[in-house]
A and B are shown apart, each in its own frame.
Chain A
Amino acid sequence: MAEVNTGGGGEQKKGKPKKMTLRVDFTPMVDMNMLLITFFMFCTSLAKPQAMEIGMPVKDDLKAEEKSKVKDDKAITIILDGENKVYYYLGMPNYTDYTSLKESSYGGIDDPKSLRTMLTNRNRIAIQKINRLRDMKNRKEIKDDYYKEEVSKIKNAKDGQAVIIKPTDKSSYQNLVDVLDEMAICQIGIYAIDDPKEGDLWLVKNLESGGELAAKSEL
């Protein structure tokens, strides 16, 4: 398809070399490139998957004193149930009052019932501190390393907010990741994943029945 045209046209004087215009047709080349691009677009993933790093507590080394390190009033237990239901209670479970367990949701900050609203309220001081640090970092007043160090200090402060996540057998993996997400959003450094105890499941049932179970067991 490449063409070599003699330019000018008309009669040319003898002795003068012919002017050549060289024109190559690039259409097949473009076709091939387009095919290759399509191939690469379909066969590759541009976005690398993200990862959440979690560290589980070491089972054997957990001493009694460490277990009780979290103050009762600073602990929140979140129970993940099936059908995207989520419940939480503060501190120790209160089996006599069924309203101590509250139903919540995975919604955003605009939902007054959501976990995020609850956790941001509870963890307000730490979030404020971290936001201030972040502002300072953005203004280049402090270094990155210092920022990271300070944030982890705030997050892991002994009197900080602690969360215990208890996914029931009916919950899905998505629920777990959602809650872990909330931990990251609400700057909660102390959290653990645990199995729900019988008492926890009982609390959920009790709430669903509106305190009937508690009333029955008292009789």
Chain B
Amino acid sequence: MSKVKTKKHSTFIDMTAMSDVTVLLLTFFMLTANFIKKEPTQIVTPGSVSEQKIPDSNIMTLLIDKTGRVYMTLDRRDNKLAVLEEIGKDYNITFTPEQKKSFLDQPTIGVPVSILPKFLDMRLEQQDEVLREYSIPTDSTNNQLRQWIQHTIAINSDINIGIKADETTPYPFVKNVLDILMDLKQYRYHLITTLEA
């Protein structure tokens, strides 16, 4: 019996092409990336046919989750700082530089002012946990949301207002926020939705 000679093939695969493709993909993702912002609650926005884009910058977003909790985000840091100082004046609270820095690092505004200094002393990871338990009070007797919005508008009158509510949010919660905006003479705002297929 003669031995069947198998030719020894090199298992070396040229990865150059593969590498080219992945680098291209990577570049694409890096260029189109806009990072998902951290939000204290999960909000599923309703679908709509509207094809307008929300403004990129200079926007104040009001988040309303399905249990009616309200949070607020501000994208401009200088505004944020000024608003914090105004709120501090209202409640006679002076914030330390560390607290101010912590406020700027935390993207969401969402605790009652009474516990805000204590909240800002915590570490960022702890803050996220605490945020889930609190929200901005919006009752008529203690309407802190109104104060936050009022100060923001006073500082930056051109700010765009976005409302991001969960699709299952009962209407009265949304109406409450809309009424506050109406009260502050803000009649134009954006309802944030996702594009329906």
Binding site for B on A (CB under 8 A): 3, 23, 25-27, 29-30, 33-34, 36-37, 40-41, 43-59, 80, 167-178, 180-181, 184-185, 193, 195
Say yes or no: B29 contacts A55, CB within 8 Å: no
A50 cross-chain contacts in B, Cβ below 8 A: 48, 50-54, 192-195
Complex: how many Å from CA A11 to CA B160?
77
Complex: how many Å from CA A41 to CA B49?
25
B45 cross-chain contacts in A, Cβ below 8 A: 49
Select A53's contact among B26, B167, B190, beta carbons within 8 Å. B190
Mark contacts of B18-50 with chain A using CB atoms, 8 A cut-off: 1 yes-contact digit, 0 otherwise.
110011011001101111100000000111111
State the Cβ distance, B93 to closest chain A Cβ, in Å. Answer: 33
Complex: how many Å from CA A160 to CA B18?
60
Q: What are the 9 closest A-B residue pairs judged by CB atoms, nearest first? A: A26-B15, A33-B22, A40-B29, A51-B190, A174-B167, A51-B54, A44-B33, A173-B169, A177-B46
Select B167's contact among A177, A184, A185, beta carbons within 8 Å. A177
Say yes or no: A184 contacts B49, CB within 8 Å: yes
Asked if A44 meets B171 with Cβ closer than 8 Å, knowing A30-B15, A50-B54, the reply is no
Asked if A40 meets B26 with Cβ closer than 8 Å, knowing A171-B171, A177-B167, the reply is yes
Considering only CB atoms, which chain A residue lies closest to B52 in the complex? Answer: A51
Please, how many residues of chain B have a CB less than 8 angstroms from a CB on the other chain? 54
Complex: how many Å from CA A23 to CA B53?
49
Say yes or no: A167 contacts B19, CB within 8 Å: no
State the Cβ distance, A103 to closest chain B Cβ, in Å. Answer: 19
B196 cross-chain contacts in A, Cβ below 8 A: 181
Considering only CB atoms, which chain A residue lies closest to B33 in the complex? Answer: A44
28 A-B interface contacts by CB (under 8 A): A26-B14, A26-B19, A27-B15, A34-B22, A40-B29, A40-B30, A43-B36, A45-B35, A48-B34, A48-B53, A49-B194, A51-B53, A53-B191, A54-B191, A58-B185, A58-B187, A80-B171, A167-B175, A169-B170, A169-B172, A172-B169, A176-B171, A176-B174, A177-B167, A177-B191, A177-B193, A181-B196, A184-B50
State the Cβ distance, B179 to closest chain A Cβ, in Å. Answer: 10
- Does B57 count as interface, using CB distance less than 8 angstroms? no
A55 cross-chain contacts in B, Cβ below 8 A: 187-188
Considering only CB atoms, which chain A residue lies closest to B29 in the complex? Answer: A40
- Does B110 count as interface, using CB distance less than 8 angstroms? no
B51 cross-chain contacts in A, Cβ below 8 A: 50
Say yes or no: A53 contacts B194, CB within 8 Å: no
- Does B114 count as interface, using CB distance less than 8 angstroms? no
State the Cβ distance, B41 to closest chain A Cβ, in Å. Answer: 14
Say yes or no: B19 contacts A29, CB within 8 Å: yes
Say yes or no: B189 contacts A54, CB within 8 Å: yes
- Does B16 count as interface, using CB distance less than 8 angstroms? yes
Considering only CB atoms, which chain B residue lies closest to A82 in the complex? Answer: B170
Say yes or no: A52 contacts B29, CB within 8 Å: no
State the Cβ distance, B35 to closest chain A Cβ, in Å. Answer: 6
- Does B12 count as interface, using CB distance less than 8 angstroms? yes
State the Cβ distance, B129 to closest chain A Cβ, in Å. Answer: 21
Complex: how many Å from CA A178 to CA B47?
8
Asked if A174 meets B168 with Cβ closer than 8 Å, knowing A26-B16, A46-B32, the reply is yes
State the Cβ distance, B146 to closest chain A Cβ, in Å. Answer: 16
Given contacts A30-B15, A40-B33, 14 further A-B contacts (CB under 8 A): A30-B18, A33-B26, A40-B26, A168-B171, A169-B171, A169-B172, A173-B166, A173-B167, A174-B46, A177-B46, A177-B48, A184-B48, A184-B49, A184-B50
In chain B, positions 139-197 with a C-beta closer than 8 Å to chain A are 162, 164-172, 174-175, 178, 181-182, 185, 187-196
State the Cβ distance, B13 to closest chain A Cβ, in Å. Answer: 8
Say yes or no: B18 contacts A26, CB within 8 Å: yes
Asked if A49 meets B54 with Cβ closer than 8 Å, knowing A27-B15, A44-B32, A177-B46, the reply is yes
Say yes or no: A47 contacts B194, CB within 8 Å: yes
Considering only CB atoms, which chain B residue lies closest to A3 in the complex? Answer: B12
